[in-house]
Amino acid sequence: MVKLTMIARVTDGLPLSEGLDDGRDLKDADFYKQQAKLLFKNLSKGQHEASRMSIETGPYLFHYIIEGRVCYLTLCDRSYPKKLAFQYLEDLKNEFEKVNGSQIETAARPYAFIKFDAFIQKTKKLYLDSRTQRNLAKLNDELYEVHQIMTRNVQEVLGVGEKLDQVSEMSSRLTSDTRIYADKAKDLNRQALIRKYAPVAIVIGIVLMLFWLKNKIW
């Protein structure tokens, strides 16, 4: 059974739409929505290996497809047929592109296409029971295969992003430290030059002053 549905722009992870009634029968719905947003964040950083993937999380599976810089994601029970989950996402993709395709790149605020929820809810009802004649026909459709779609664990997927974030943070810290040390080195060199040449400059200054006074007096 479909539990959650979310749509986001891949380039920046901006949420574009979601099923407003989703999560009512889902325990810890906010937790899984947060996981979905973290997945979108990872995708926006280019951390995706395939345009279609299933991700294990607790008793559920995230399924997503990426088309036209948009990610269509759903959370389903593990027992729900993967084939139906991806065909559900395909239906959403086709309608979303048809209705909102020209506005996707220019959307500037989260959930700019929240009215798409009406289509999400209508389509979700069609896929509610995997045993209906319509859905059984889709399951038997040999033209749409999902065997090659990779399945990974959510901690593994998000962990990759966390490790890359840590590396990026460490790199930024090292760059900052390098700049600090470089500035300190410049200051030390400047102080060393002052200590080295200051006495000579003072002596020369005194000699010039005495020479000037002597010329004044005479």
CATH 3.30.450.50 fits 2-165, yes or no: yes
pLDDT at residue 135 tops 90: no
Are 145 and 87 in contact by the 8 Å Cβ rule? The answer is: no
pTM over 0.85: no
Q: Give CA–CA dist 75/19, Å, rounded.
A: 11
Between these two residues, 52 and 160, which has the higher pLDDT value? 52
Q: Using CA of residue 142, residue 148, residue 154, residue 157, what is the dihedral sign? A: negative
Model confidence over 29-73: pLDDT tens digits? 888 889 999 999 888 887 666 789 999 998 999 999 999 889 999
Q: What is the mean pLDDT of residues 111-130?
A: 89
**183 pLDDT tier (thresholds 50, 70, 90):** low
The pLDDT of residue 110 is 92
- Portion of the chain with pLDDT greater than 90, in percent: 35
188 — pLDDT class (breaks 50, 70, 90)? low
What are the boundaries of each domain within the chain? 2-165, 170-217
